[in-house]
Structure 1
Amino acid sequence: MSPAEAPDSVVRVVRAYIDQHRAAFLDDLAEWLRIPSVSADPERAGEVRRSAEWLAAKLSETGFPVAEVWDTEKGGLPAVFAEWPSGDADAPTVLVYGHHDVQPAAREDGWATEPFEPTIVDGRMYARGAADDKGQVFFHTLGVRAHLAATGRTAPAVNLKLLIEGEEESGSPNFAALVRRHADRLAADVVMISDTGMWGETTPTVCTGMRGVADCEISLYGPGTDIHSGSFGGAVPNPADEAARLVAALHDADRRVAIPGFYDGVVELTERERELFAELPFDEDAWLGVAKSHATQGEAGFSTLERIWARPTAEVNGIWGGYTGPGGKTIIPAEAHVKLSFRLVAGQDVDKFQQSIGAWVAAQVTPGIRYEIEFRGATRPCLTPLDHPALQSVVRSMGQAFEQKIRFTREGGSGPAADLQDVLGAPVLFLGISVPSDGWHSINEKVELALLAKGVETSAYLWADLAEHWAVGQGQQSDRPSQARTN
C-alpha cells in the first residue's frame, strides 16, 4: 500500500512536538517502569494496583476526561479504563488494549542492570516492561497530544478508549468476565492491540491476525491396577499402547491433522497473502537456530511462515504412563495420559472442534479401555481482512512515520484479543513497534527509543486518518482477506 502522505505541515508539527516532549515522556515512562507490577507474584499485588493507579492519574493528566481503575472478579488484579470522546457525531470509536502487568525479573537472573531501574544505553531503555507492554501502551499518551497539536483539535478525531489489563502475564483469568461486565462502556467500532511487534528494526510490519488455542488432556484406563505382563500381556488392552496409537494417528503422511472435521471452515490463504509473506526477509537457518532444531517439519504444501501463522496445528505436549523409574518393571500399566494442544485459525469453530476431538478419540480407542477428555478452555483466533479501512489507516500512518513500505505478518501465538472481538463484535487490529531483540519475558528486556518514537508518531497520525476514511471504507470492506493494494 502506498501511504497517502499527511500534509508536510502536519508532519512538521508532529515531529517537533515529539522532539520537544521526548525527555519528559521518557522520564514518565521510567517512573512507571520502576513499579514492579508482577501479576504472577501474590506479594506484589499491591504494586500491580499502584501501577494501575499511576496510569489512571497519568491518563487524566494527558487529557482523558475519564480515567478509572477497574477491579476484577475473584480478587483479581485491576485494569485501567480511560475514555476521551471526540465530540464529532460521526466519529468512529477505537478501543486500545494493552497491559500494565509484567513478568518476574531479578538482577540475579542474569540482568546487566537492575530490571526495575530503567537504564538508557546506546539508544535503548532497559527495564522489565519497557517493550512488554508499558512502553507500547505509553506511546499513545504522547501520540494523542501530538495529534491534537497538529490538528488544532481539543479532543481526538475518534472516540478514544483505553483498556489496560493487569493480569495478561498471568493468563488473563478474569479478563473475559471484565469485558462482558463492562461491554456497554467498552463498545467500539475497532479494537487496537498495542501488545505486539514488528518483523525487525528495518522492516516495519503490521500484524493482521493471531491464532487461537485449545488444549486437552486425554486419560486412558485399563486394568484396575498395574498387572504382570507375563501373565496378562498380549491378552488385555494396554493403556500405554493406546496412548502411543492415539498420538501416532494424530497426523497423516503429509503432516495434516487426521481428525475428521478438523479443517472445517478454515479460512484459506489467498495467493496475494502468500506473496506478502514471501516478501519478508525470512532466514530459515537463523530461525532454526532460535528454535534449537535441526530441521523444519509441517503440513505439506506450505512454507514455514505459513505454517506458524495461518495453518491450524496439533501438538503433543506430553505423554506418560506406566513405570518410568530406573531399570525395568514388567507390567501392563493401569493408566496412561496424553496432553494435546491445538492452534486454531480463522473460520474454525471451537465448539465444533471439541466435538470432533471427542468423536475422534471414541473411534480410536480399543474396547476395554475407558477414557476421559478434559478440555481446559480455548482462545478463539482473530483475523483482520487486508482491505479493512482501519487496517489501511494503520498502514498509512506507519508508512508516514517510518517513511517506507509497511509489510504484513501474523502471530503464531494467541492472546486475549479474541475475547474483545467475541464480546464486543468489533474487528481487532494490531499496532506495535517492538522487535524480536527486545527480549520479552527474558533478561535485559529493552525498547529501542527510535522505534518508540515511531510508535508515538504513528499514533499521532492514526486518529485523524481513521476518522477521515472510516465512513467511506465501511461500504467497501469485505468479509475476508482480499487483494489489498500493497504497492
Structure 2
Amino acid sequence: MSPTPDSAVRAYIEQHRAAFLDDLAEWLRIPSVSADPGRAADVRRSADWLAAKLKETGFPTVEVWETDGAPAVFAEWPSGDDDAPTVLVYGHHDVQPAAREDGWHTDPFEPVVKDGRLYGRGAADDKGQVFFHTLGVRAHLAATGRTAPAVNLKLIVEGEEEFGSPNFPALIRARADRLACDSVIVSDTGMWSEDTPTVCTGMRGLVECQIDLYGPDQDIHSGSFGGAVPNPATEAARLVAALHDEDRRVAIPGFYDGVVELTDAERELFAELPFDEERWQRTAHSHATLGEAGFSTLERVWARPTAEVNGIGGGYQGPGGKTIVPSSAQLKLSFRLVAGQDTDRIQQAVREWTAARLPGGVRHEIAFTGATRPCLTPLDHPALRSVVRAMGRAFGQKIRFTREGGSGPAADLQDVLGVPVLFLGISVPSDGWHAPNEKVELDLLMKGVETAAHLWDDLAGSTAGSIAGPDAPVAPGAP
C-alpha cells in the first residue's frame, strides 16, 4: 500500500530533520541585530545566507532587495498553473540584541539543543519560523510528486522588523507589482500553548505621540505666582485624568468611530481558550486586572482599542522640595487600534482633543512617531479555513483562534497589496521572544513544517472541503 500524503509528508520531514536543524543553527550563528549599526554587515550576511539557501531549496527567482536600511530577501516559485492562486509569505531575518551577560545560560549566537528545544537568538523570532517554510515546500513536493508548488509561492523576508520596519512600507509600495498576491501568510506569531494550537486572526494597530506643554518662560516661584498662572504640569495631569471616562473607555471624541465590534461567535471562541487569569496577571507582574467595562481580559488586549500613558514628567524631580511653577511638562501616549479605526483620523482626534482641553497661556506641541494600521481576517474567509485545515492535519486536533494585542507590519501588506493577511506561527509564550534564553520547541517547529507542507495544496483548492482536520470548524456553525 502506498503511503497517504500525510504519512509521506511526515516521513520526508523526519528524513531531513537533522540537516534542516543544522542549517537553521548555521543561520542563527549570524548576529543579525538590526538595531545595532555595528552589526549592519551581519544583517547583510544574514540576507545573503538566506538567499543562497532559498536557491538551494529550489526557488528559481531569489533576489536581495536594497532599502535605505537593511536588505530584504525576495523569492518566487511559480506553480506553472495559470489558475493557481499566488501566496506571499512574510517574515524577518533580523533579531533583537543579545549578550551572555543579559542572563543567557549559553552564548545567544551559538545555538544549543537541550531537552527537545533549540536555544539561540532568533530561534523562534523569527528565523526558525521563516526557515520551516523551506523544508515545508520540499515536503509538499515530495508528497505530491510535483516539481513546483501547487500555488505561485513568494517570500518577502525583511531585515528591520526588530526596530520598527522603518523602510518596509516604502519597499512594499515600490515593489507592489512583484509582491502582488491573493493572500499573505505571516509567520511571525505564535500559538496559545503547546497543548492548544491556535491561529491568530488579527493584530492591533498603533499610534504614538509626545505632547510637550509650555507655560511660563522659566520656572517661577510658586508662592509669588502659583494659583494665578497656568501650570503646565497640572495641565498634563488634567489631560491624563481626562483620557478615560468612569468605565475606562477612551474619552477622546470620535475615538471609537468605525470600530469593528466583536461578534457573539468571536466572544464564544475566545471563551473556549483555557485562560487562567491569575496566571496571566502574574505574567504581567501586576496586582490586579483593570480595563474597559463589559469586556474580558482577553477581549481587552486583543479586540478593543486602548489609550495608555507611557510617560509623564515635568518640573523638579530632584531630592527634597523646590517650590516652583515649572515652565514645561511632557506626556508620552500610545493608542492601540482595532479593525475599522483609521490612524490618520485618530491622530487628528488626539490633536483636536488636546487643543480643546488646554487653557490660554499653555502652549503645546504634539509629535506623532509613525503609525501601524490594524488588520483582521474574517473567520469565514476561505484562506483562513485553509490555514486551519492544514494545522488540523499537522496537529491532529481542533484549532482554536486568538488575536494579537501587539502591532506589526502585517497591516502594511494588507493595505498596499489589498489582500487578506493570515497568520501561521508555532511559537509558544515560553519561547521568550526578546528575552534571554530564547528557544523554540523542536516538535512544534516540525509541526510548522508539516502545516506548510499541507497548506499550499489546500490553498490551491485541490483539497478544500475534503479535509477538515479533527473537529476543526472555523467558527460555530460554519459550513
- Sort the TM-score into its range (normalised by shorter chain): over 0.9
- Measured in 2, the distance between the counterparts of 1:485 and 1:400 equals 21
Identify the residue that residue 469 of structure 2 maps to in structure 1: none
Q: Is the CA contact 1:393–1:469 (under 8 Å) kept in the aligned structure 2?
A: no
Specify whether residues 174 and 371 from structure 1 end up closer, same or farther in structure 2 by C-alpha distance, changes over 3 A only.
Answer: same
2:304 partner letter: R
1:58 equivalenced with 2:60 (yes/no): no
Large movers: runs of 4+ above 6 Å:
469-472
Give the C-alpha shift of residue 19 in structure 1.
0.9
Identify the residue that residue 183 of structure 2 maps to in structure 1: 190
2:188 partner letter: D
Identify the residue that residue 4 of structure 2 maps to in structure 1: 9
Flag structure 2 segments of 5+ consecutive residues without an equivalent. Answer: 466-473
Secondary structure, in 3 states, of the residue corresponding to 1:97? strand
Specify whether residues 254 and 469 from structure 1 end up closer, same or farther in structure 2 by C-alpha distance, changes over 3 A only.
Answer: farther
Matches within 5 A, 1:124-203: 124-203=117-196
Identify the residue that residue 98 of structure 1 maps to in structure 2: 91
- Measured in 2, the distance between the counterparts of 1:321 and 1:43 equals 35
Identify the residue that residue 41 of structure 1 maps to in structure 2: 36
2:13 partner letter: I
- Measured in 2, the distance between the counterparts of 1:70 and 1:29 equals 22
Give the C-alpha shift of residue 438 in structure 1.
0.6
- Measured in 1, the distance between the counterparts of 2:476 and 2:36 equals 45
Q: Is the CA contact 2:211–2:364 (under 8 Å) kept in the aligned structure 1?
A: yes
Specify whether residues 409 and 282 from structure 1 end up closer, same or farther in structure 2 by C-alpha distance, changes over 3 A only.
Answer: same
Under a length normalisation based on structure 1, what TM-score does the superposition of the two structures give? 0.94
Deviations for 1:217-273, whole angstroms, at most 9, x for unmatched residues? Answer: 111111111111111111111111111111000000000000110000000000000
- Measured in 2, the distance between the counterparts of 1:261 and 1:470 equals 45
Deviations for 1:357-380, whole angstroms, at most 9, x for unmatched residues? Answer: 111112211122111111111100
Deviations for 1:155-209, whole angstroms, at most 9, x for unmatched residues? Answer: 1011100000111112111111111111110111101100000000000000000
Secondary structure, in 3 states, of the residue corresponding to 1:444? coil
2:372 partner letter: T
Matches within 5 A, 1:212-231: 212-231=205-224
Identify the residue that residue 296 of structure 1 maps to in structure 2: 289
- Measured in 1, the distance between the counterparts of 2:253 and 2:242 equals 12
Secondary structure, in 3 states, of the residue corresponding to 2:461? helix
- Measured in 1, the distance between the counterparts of 2:163 and 2:242 equals 34
Give the C-alpha shift of residue 483 in structure 1.
5.3
2:197 partner letter: P
Q: Is the CA contact 2:386–2:464 (under 8 Å) kept in the aligned structure 1?
A: no
Deviations for 1:395-439, whole angstroms, at most 9, x for unmatched residues? Answer: 000000000000000000001111111111111110000001111
Identify the residue that residue 476 of structure 1 maps to in structure 2: none
Identify the residue that residue 16 of structure 2 maps to in structure 1: 21
- Measured in 2, the distance between the counterparts of 1:350 and 1:279 equals 32
Secondary structure, in 3 states, of the residue corresponding to 1:69? strand
Identify the residue that residue 425 of structure 1 maps to in structure 2: 418
Deviations for 1:15-60, whole angstroms, at most 9, x for unmatched residues? Answer: 1111111111111111111111111121211111111111101100
Total equivalences in the alignment: 470
Deviations for 1:274-302, whole angstroms, at most 9, x for unmatched residues? Answer: 00000001111111111111100000000
Give the C-alpha shift of residue 108 in structure 1.
2.2
Q: Is the CA contact 2:213–2:364 (under 8 Å) kept in the aligned structure 1?
A: yes
Give the C-alpha shift of residue 329 in structure 1.
1.1
Q: Is the CA contact 1:386–1:484 (under 8 Å) kept in the aligned structure 2?
A: no
**Which stretch shifts more, 157-166 or 461-470?**
461-470
Matches within 5 A, 1:214-253: 214-253=207-246
1:67 partner letter: V
Under a length normalisation based on structure 2, what TM-score does the superposition of the two structures give? 0.96
- Measured in 1, the distance between the counterparts of 2:236 and 2:436 equals 38
Q: Is the CA contact 1:29–1:135 (under 8 Å) kept in the aligned structure 2?
A: yes
- Measured in 2, the distance between the counterparts of 1:26 and 1:322 equals 55
Give the C-alpha shift of residue 460 in structure 1.
0.3
Deviations for 1:70-89, whole angstroms, at most 9, x for unmatched residues? Answer: 1112xx11110000011111
Identify the residue that residue 470 of structure 2 maps to in structure 1: none
- Measured in 1, the distance between the counterparts of 2:105 and 2:453 equals 34
Identify the residue that residue 335 of structure 1 maps to in structure 2: 328
Identify the residue that residue 108 of structure 2 maps to in structure 1: 115
**Which stretch shifts more, 303-312 or 82-91?**
82-91
1:13 partner letter: A
After superposition, the CA RMSD in angstroms is 1.5
Give the C-alpha shift of residue 486 in structure 1.
6.2
Secondary structure, in 3 states, of the residue corresponding to 2:4? helix
Q: Is the CA contact 1:40–1:169 (under 8 Å) kept in the aligned structure 2?
A: yes
